[in-house]
């Protein structure tokens, strides 16, 4: 099913405001370096042009990618393509205030300045779909979307989207101006949005744009699972380290077996699983390789039944898809504080009392899995010993049955912040973005 005649990529409508895109989009982030080294300008443009030649018209970027260089690259590619046939999605809201300092900004003034800057970098007259990249809790969403509404009225933006927003924020934003699409991580590896976000989007008539639909490349093939490239920042990702990697290899094996049954690759099956969830879904997998792009396009030939969908979903239960990213899912609401001083980072986590009670969390610093930290006094000494063996100056300040506090030197700060997307850094406070949606 992975091979065959030239495929016509279907069109889908995102939301009910009129935006129509290719059913398979293309995430441009990796072209200028994300989990990998950046491509040359010539090679990056070639990938974009190849995607368009195959029927992909929906291209996703952000002013934060690079920063800025990703939009510039896409803009140069657009000069060689028919603009009227392409849907550009870009984002604003993640503001870099220094080499290692990033903050979220949703103020009306910043929204407008970002839009004008993106239009200039892309060298276009309008943006088809403009997302707030991350929600700014200091600014009422009504004010942010109010300014976006003005940009729509002025013709600078056609449609409005949100990325990584909570149900309450989505509903409030939609009341100010119709939200056309919500972009969230959704894959066999990350399924928490199925509980509230997806039903809400369908209630309000909002399209769904899954990013990382291949689990940050995990389902792309054994090369990623078993042998990450030396320059890949995925090696820093807790899902690719220690016991987590072993668990995820078992998940991959299940999907690989099911892919053989459907005569396709694991990546194609993972994408087909996303497609099967509805005609209001347009995933945006990215790649730097044309062969992987063609493989992704081949996923549209994989036809699944409802029974197939259930079988695949059962192979990766939601609870298994929550294997930790940076901090275990169940401690996100217990994450009290991560403070920076000039010399150290202090982290305090309180165990929550949710249904699945957490007994430990995983810590990854400076490109390597450091240790698993138990909420258990008896294990504190072993934890510190392991940290010492790993060459870290991690110090446990307090470990009780319900609280954990530890510090580590500031030299770990830079790489950790820059290479772990779900965190934001503002006023010496490192904050989890993805789980604690606002």
Encode pLDDT of 325-342 as tens digits. Answer: 333 222 233 333 334 333
pLDDT reading at 223 higher than 80: no
Q: Give the CB-side neighbour count of residue 302, counting CA atoms within 13 A.
A: 28
Q: Which of 169, 176, 172 is nearest to 184 (CA)?
A: 169
Which pTM does this prediction carry?
0.75
In sequence order, which residues have a C-beta less than 8 Å from that of residue 347 and are 6 or more positions away?
Answer: 337, 338, 404, 405, 406, 407
pLDDT reading at 34 higher than 60: yes
Confidence tier at 94 by pLDDT (50, 70, 90): confident
Average pLDDT over residues 383-399: 45
pLDDT reading at 172 higher than 80: yes
pLDDT higher for 162 or 241? 162
Instruction: Note if 65 is an active site residue.
Output: yes
pLDDT reading at 55 higher than 90: yes
Q: According to the model, what pLDDT value does residue 318 have?
A: 75
Please provide the size of the chain in residues. Answer: 438
Confidence tier at 228 by pLDDT (50, 70, 90): low
Supply the DSSP symbol for 187: B
Instruction: Estimate the share of the chain in helix, then strand, then coil, as percent rounded to the nearest 5.
Output: 40, 20, 35
Angle in degrees, 0-180, between the axes of helices 41-53 and 290-297, rounded to the nearest 10:
20
pLDDT reading at 424 higher than 70: no
Domain 11-315 has CATH 3.30.530.20: no
Instruction: State the catalytic residue, choosing from 35, 65, 131, 252.
Output: 65
Q: According to the model, what pLDDT value does residue 220 have?
A: 86
User: Where are the CATH 3.20.20.100 domain residues in the chain?
Assistant: 11-315
Q: Which of 337, 326, 330 is nearest to 407 (CA)?
A: 337
Confidence tier at 249 by pLDDT (50, 70, 90): confident
Average pLDDT over residues 77-88: 98
**C-alpha dihedral, 124 to 126 to 129 to 132, nearest 10°:** 90
Burial of residue 237, with CB atoms counted within 10 A of its CB: 0-12 exposed, 13-18 middle, 19 or more buried: buried
pLDDT reading at 123 higher than 90: yes
Say how many Å lie between the first and final Cα of the chain, rounded.
41
Centre a 10 Å sphere on the Cβ of residue 31 and count the other Cβ atoms it contains. 29
C-alpha pair distances (Å), 91 with each of 95, 158, 178: 11, 13, 17
* Choice among 66-70, 83-87, 201-205, 291-295 with the minimum mean pLDDT: 66-70
Phi/psi of residue 345, nearest 5 degrees: -115, 130
pLDDT reading at 127 higher than 60: yes
In sequence order, which residues have a C-beta less than 8 Å from that of residue 163 and are 6 or more positions away?
Answer: 91, 131, 132, 133, 134, 182, 183, 184, 211
Confidence tier at 235 by pLDDT (50, 70, 90): low
Q: According to the model, what pLDDT value does residue 138 have?
A: 84
Q: According to the model, what pLDDT value does residue 240 have?
A: 61
């Amino acid at each position: 099913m992975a091979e065959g005649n030239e495929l016509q990529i279907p069109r889908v409508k995102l939301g009910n405001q009129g935006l129509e895109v290719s059913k398979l989009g293309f995430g441009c982030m990796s072209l200028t370096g994300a989990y990998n080294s950046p491509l040359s300008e010539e090679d990056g443009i070639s990938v974009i042009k190849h995607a368009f030649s195959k029927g992909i018209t929906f291209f996703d970027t952000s002013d934060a990618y690079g920063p800025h260089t990703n939009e510039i690259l896409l803009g140069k590619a657009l000069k060689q393509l028919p603009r009227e046939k392409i849907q550009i999605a870009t984002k604003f809201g993640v503001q870099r205030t220094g080499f290692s300092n990033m903050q979220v900004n949703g103020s009306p003034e910043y929204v407008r300045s970002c839009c004008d800057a993106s239009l200039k970098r892309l060298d276009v007259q309008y943006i088809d779909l403009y997302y707030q990249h991350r929600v700014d809790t200091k600014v009422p969403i009504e004010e942010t979307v109010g300014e976006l509404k003005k940009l729509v009225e002025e013709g600078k933006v056609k449609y409005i989207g949100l990325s990584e927003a909570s149900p309450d924020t989505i509903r409030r934003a939609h009341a100010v101006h119709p939200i056309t699409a919500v972009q969230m991580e959704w894959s066999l590896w990350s399924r928490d949005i199925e509980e509230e976000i997806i039903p809400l989007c369908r209630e309000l008539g909002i399209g769904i744009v899954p990013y990382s639909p291949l689990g940050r490349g995990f389902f792309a093939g054994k090369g990623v699972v078993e042998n990450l490239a030396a320059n890949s920042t995925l090696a820093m990702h807790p899902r690719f380290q220690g016991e987590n990697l072993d668990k995820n290899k078992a998940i991959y094996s299940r999907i690989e077996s099911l892919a053989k049954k459907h005569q396709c690759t694991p990546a194609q099956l993972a994408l087909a699983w996303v497609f099967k969830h509805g005609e209001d879904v347009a995933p945006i997998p990215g790649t730097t390789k044309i062969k992987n792009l063609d493989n992704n396009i081949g996923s549209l030939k994989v036809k699944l039944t409802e029974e197939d969908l259930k079988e695949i979903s059962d192979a990766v239960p939601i609870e298994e898809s929550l294997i930790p990213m940076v901090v275990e899912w169940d401690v996100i609401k217990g994450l009290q504080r991560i403070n920076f001083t000039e010399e150290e980072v202090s982290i305090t986590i309180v165990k929550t009392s949710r249904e699945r009670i957490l007994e430990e969390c995983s810590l990854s610093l400076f490109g390597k899995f450091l240790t698993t930290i138990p909420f258990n006094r008896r294990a504190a000494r072993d934890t510190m010993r392991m940290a010492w063996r790993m060459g870290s100056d991690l110090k446990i300040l307090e470990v009780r049955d319900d609280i954990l506090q530890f510090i580590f030197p500031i030299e770990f700060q830079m790489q950790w912040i820059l290479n772990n997307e779900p965190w934001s850094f503002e006023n010496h406070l490192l904050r989890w973005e993805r789980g604690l949606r606002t």
